[in-house]
Amino acid sequence: MDYSRRDLADRLAAEYVMGTLQGPARRRFERLLPAHPALQQAVAAWQLRLAPLSASVAPVAPPERVWQGIERRLFERDDQAATLPWWQRLALWRTASGLATAAALAMFMVASQVPPPQAPIVVLLGANPEAAQALNASFVASLSADGRALVLKPLNELSLTPGRALELWAVPATGAPRSLGLVQSRGATTLLRTQLLRDTAAFAVSVEPSGGSPTGAPTGPIVSLGKLQL
């Protein structure tokens, strides 16, 4: 296997850093790492790129009134907006300054001798109050600045009924959303794509059949939504 290939080294390094490369494959990667500069560089780049997700922050459950206030500020809308498709209502949402501050405080850069890359972009996907009965789902998404990788992690454990799955969508300012693939209801999901940020104004998560949407568009309830701020 040619580990000098940038795409292969990048993919293996991403899986290694995020912990999705496990078992014999992980042990083999660790044995190869000292002898392959391309793998070492790719691992170092991913460790810097995804540094915010490695921060150890003890979870603190906020009072219910705090979440209610956040939902009101994120999803406040008028009667006219209620008649629009959900992806067009994204432009009407207001960003919660407290959430932006919390996301900024969560970021940090690992000290290195090489110049640090651009900080990842953090997006909070709040639970959609219109689908609260379907699933109370909130996520945090961390995107690399070059738009080539996204890590999505649920903020609470989600229980899905058998035969159902969660699907992530990139929502443009105009037009229909496009699927980014299925994501886990527990634990982090790493997605490697090209141009994740192109024509993307927001992200959304829907509940779909186990194999994903059969139509190429969301078919189940939209349980989580988050506007992209660049």
Q: What is the pLDDT of residues 57-80, one digit of tens each?
A: 445 555 666 556 655 655 555 555
Separation of alpha carbons 86 and 183, rounded Å:
20
CA atoms within a 13 Å half-sphere pointing along the CA-CB vector of 62: 10
Q: 179: buried, middle or exposed (CB in 10 Å: 19+, 13-18, 0-12)?
A: middle
To which H or E segment does residue 185 belong? none
Burial class of 211 by CB neighbour count within 10 A (0 to 12, 13 to 18, 19+): exposed
Instruction: Specify the DSSP element, H or E, that contains 196.
Output: none
| 38: its two tokens | 């391309």
Its sign, for the CA torsion 173, 179, 194, 29, is positive
Instruction: Report d(CA 42, CA 54) in Å as an integer.
Output: 17
Beta bridge partners of 122: 142
Beta carbons of 128 and 175 less than 8 angstroms apart: no
83-141 tens-digit pLDDT: 566 665 554 443 433 444 344 444 433 333 444 445 678 888 888 887 756 678 889 88
Q: Between the CA of residue 216 and those of 36, 86, 177, what are the distances in Å?
A: 40, 16, 9
pLDDT at 167: 95
181, 100 Cβ separation under 8 angstroms: no
Burial of 208 (0-12, 13-18, 19+ CB in 10 A): buried
pTM tops 0.75, yes or no: no
